[in-house]
Structure 1
């Protein structure tokens, strides 16, 4: 029966794989950071949108009351 031996990895192969793994890890970390920043920005925008919506509702109620008042006095 023949025996096959796998040669040990060459140093340049090992270095290339190490660089690839390091680059992949760095990219994953950056991706997580960007995702966190994006999620934070989305929450800020949602809060701003709620404030705008609340102000619009308030203004609409003032307009409605003003119209009712004007109708009453005319």
Structure 2
């Protein structure tokens, strides 16, 4: 059975109004290289968010208030 991974979305524009029509997902057949790239991307994003959460927790969970006492 073939497996597909969503790699993005696309939407055409209405020729009369210029507004976007309903978005349609774009799929690509899953290969070992594509699956590894997807995993690496999730790990990179996870690492980025984990760093921001660590910074937030170590800061006491408070947002810095610039110019206010």
> Is the TM value for this pair above 0.5?
no
Greater RCO, 1 or 2 (C-alpha within 8 Å, sep 6+): 2
TM-score (norm 1): 0.40
By percentage of residues, which structure has more strand?
A: 2
For normalisation by structure 2, the TM-score amounts to 0.42
Q: Which has the larger Rg?
A: 1
